[in-house]
Each structure stands twice: as structure tokens, then as C-alpha cells.
Structure 1
Amino acid sequence: MSLKKAGILVLVILILDQWLKIYIKTNFLYDDYVLVFDWFRIHFIENEGMAWGVALPGMYGKLALTLFRIVAVCGIFWWLRDSVRKKQSNYLIISIALILAGAIGNILDSVFYGVIFSESTPSQIATLFSDEPYGTWFHGKVVDMFYFPIWRGTLPEWLPIWGGKYFTFFNAIFNLADVAISVGVGILIVFNKKIFKN
């Protein structure tokens, strides 16, 4: 696969990811959702930090995370370009392109959303290009919306640790950029023998 084709794949994912996030943020109240199926919702939340909502402590935690992501994206881009130059497996090139697109998608939220959107609340929908932005450069929140609560219920008492507690499987809420990263990593794992046969 050529670098141009990989770049087109990255661009298409980025456009879809950002369009969806902007649509959700400008049309949904915070924590609002639409029930698609009993096991699938479009549920708007924002992620302050890393995966699963984990945040780095302190005033500069978010800035450090965003800067680290930018450095990581530079490394992933170099890996993609080097893999294309060496004519590596298309599985590898596609997986790197997906990971790159997902990483850039979430970086865009972190870098820009704090200065272009007003605050999303349970009573007010955010405005794009607001005169009263909710944050500053590099301190934006990542928009998430896909929620698959496939099973919900109380676990049997006999289970250690979680027995008798209410449990939801699958409880994460994520976005298209996260899907791209996960699929890219999945390709690396499933097809690792084809990718790294040399």
C-alpha cells in the first residue's frame, strides 16, 4: 500500500470522527442519549483524561498528556512512512494508519475543543465557535458517544469480590477514534505472523 492510500484512510477516519463528535456536542445535552437498541446507545459524555476516563493529577497533567500524545503521533507517522518505504505487509500499514488516525482524532479534541466550544451541561447544548469557551488550548475534553451495555444485572452472590453487585458488561463509552485504534491494534495481534514473518 502506498503512503498516499494510507493517508487517504487516515483522512477519511479523521473527517468522520470529527464530524460525529461535533454533531454530538452541538446536538446533545451532556449525559443525554438515544436508545438505538437495548444493548446499544448513542450516549454523550466527555473524557477528561486518558482511556477509561483516567486523568493525570495536577494543573499540568492534561497538558503533559496532550504533549505526550503529539510526540507519540510523530513516532507513529514515522513508523507508517518507514513501513511503506520498506514495502511491509498491507496488514501492518493499515493497522498503523488506523492507530495514527485514532490518535490524531483524540488529540484534536484535546488541543482545540476547549477554545472553540462552550461548556456542555445537562441543561445546555454546547455552541461551536463560542464567545465563552469552556477551556484553554491543550485542555479540551475528548467527546465519547458509543455505549454498548450488552448485559446488565446483579452478579451471583457466590462470585468472589463482585458477588451480589450490580454489573454492566460492556461499560465503556468511546468514540470512532478509539474504535480505529482498537481495530488497528487488533489487526496487529490477529495477523502478527503475517505482519512480522520476516
Structure 2
Amino acid sequence: MKLRHAALIIILILVVDQFSKVYVKTNFYYGESYNVLSWFNITFIENEGMAWGTKIPGEYGKLFLTLFRILAVGGIGYWLWDSVEKGKSKFLITAIALIFAGALGNIIDSVLYGVMFEESTRYHLATYFSEEHYGDWFHGRVVDMFEFPIWEGKLPSWIPVWGGDDFRFFNAIFNVADFAISVGVGILIFFNKRAFAPVKLPPNVKFSNKLDEDTI
């Protein structure tokens, strides 16, 4: 798989990811939810950039997280380039490209969105490049919107510990970038043997265990 094919995957993911985030950010009130199907909602929330809305405490927690993710994306980018150069499998290169695109998509939010948009509230729609932007460089919040409440109800009483409690599956709200990362990781897990298969040499390339007589 060539580098331009991986770049095409990355560009496609980034375009769809950023378009969906900007659209939701500028057309939905914070917390607003639109029911698409009985098991699928578009729900606008924001988080500090970690899974499940987790925050790093402290004044510089958000800045540390953003800088760490930028370094991580640099490492993933090198892994992608190295894998292409060494002729690794399409499964591996596709997975890395998806992970790279997803991580970069969320970094764009963290780096730029704080100075690009106003604060989103339940009564005010955000606009572009307002003087009253909600944050600083590297302090933006990641926009999430896809919600899949596939099942919601009380768990049977016979289930240990959680029996009788209210339960919702699936409870997370995510974005296109998160989905790309999840798919990439899924490929590495479920297609592990194909992803990390030994590189196949071209038919005309052969190695010999015999020493050249002139070197003896």
C-alpha cells in the first residue's frame, strides 16, 4: 500500500470529522439532541479531550494533554511512514492511517477550537472567530455528537451487584475521529496476524545461505 493511499484515508477522515463537528457546534445548542432513529441520536456535548470526558487536574492539565497528544501523533505518523517504506501489510497501514487521522482530528479541536468559537450554551449558538472566544490556544474542547442508546431499562434482578439498576447500552457519545481510532485499533486486534504478517519479498529477490567461493 502506497503512502498516497494512506494520505487519502487520512484526508477523508479529517474532512468528514471537521465538517460534522463545525456543523454541530454552530447549529446545535449545548446538550441539544436530535432523534434520527429510535437507537440513534445526534447529541451535542464537548469534553476536554480524554475518553469518557476525563480531565487531568491542575492549571496546566489541559495543555499537558494537548502537547502529549501532539507528540503521540508525531510518533504514529513516523510509524505509518516506516510501515509504508518497509512494505508492511495493507491491514497494518490502513489501521495506522485511521488511528493517525482520528488522533489528529481531535487535536485540531484541542488546539484551535478555543479561539475559533464562542461558548456554546443551552440558549446560545456558537459563531466563528468571535472576539468572545471561549478559550485559548491549546485549550479547546473536543466536540462529540453520535449517541447510540441501543437499549435502556432495568437490569433483571437475578444479575449480581447490578440487578434491578437502570442501565443504558450504549452510553458513550463520540465523534468521527473517535470512531476512526476505534476501527483502527479493532483492525490491529481482530486481524492481528494479517496486520503483522511478515513482509513478502518480490519473486525475483532471493537470498542464499551459500558463501561466495571468492570470499573463502
Q: TM-score, normalised by structure 2?
A: 0.90
Shift of 1:80: 0.2
Q: Which residue number corresponds to residue 128 of structure 1?
A: 128
Q: Contact 1:151 / 1:170 at 8 angstroms: preserved in 2?
A: yes
Q: Contact 2:89 / 2:197 at 8 angstroms: preserved in 1?
A: no
Inter-partner Cα distance in structure 2 for 1:192 and 1:97: 16
Q: Percent identity?
A: 63
Unaligned runs of at least 5 residues, structure 1: none
Q: Which residue number corresponds to residue 175 of structure 1?
A: 175
Counterpart residue type for residue 47 of structure 2: N
Q: Which residue number corresponds to residue 81 of structure 1?
A: 81
Shift of 1:113: 0.3
Q: Which residue number corresponds to residue 4 of structure 1?
A: 4
Shift of 1:84: 0.2
Inter-partner Cα distance in structure 1 for 2:109 and 2:149: 25
Inter-partner Cα distance in structure 2 for 1:94 and 1:103: 14
Counterpart residue type for residue 108 of structure 2: L
Q: Contact 2:73 / 2:103 at 8 angstroms: preserved in 1?
A: yes
CA distances 1:114-167 after superposition (whole Å, capped 9, x unpaired): 011000001111111111000111110000000001000011233222222111
Q: Contact 1:77 / 1:100 at 8 angstroms: preserved in 2?
A: yes
Counterpart residue type for residue 21 of structure 2: K
Shift of 1:48: 1.9
After alignment, is 20-29 or 160-169 more displaced? Answer: 160-169
Inter-partner Cα distance in structure 1 for 2:171 and 2:111: 27
Q: TM-score, normalised by structure 1?
A: 0.98
Inter-partner Cα distance in structure 1 for 2:13 and 2:96: 13
Q: Which residue number corresponds to residue 195 of structure 2?
A: 195
Counterpart residue type for residue 12 of structure 1: L
Whichever of the two has the greater Rg, that structure is 2
Q: Which residue number corresponds to residue 47 of structure 1?
A: 47
Unaligned runs of at least 5 residues, structure 2: 199-216
Q: Count residues in correspondence.
A: 198
Q: Contact 1:49 / 1:56 at 8 angstroms: preserved in 2?
A: no
Inter-partner Cα distance in structure 2 for 1:61 and 1:144: 20
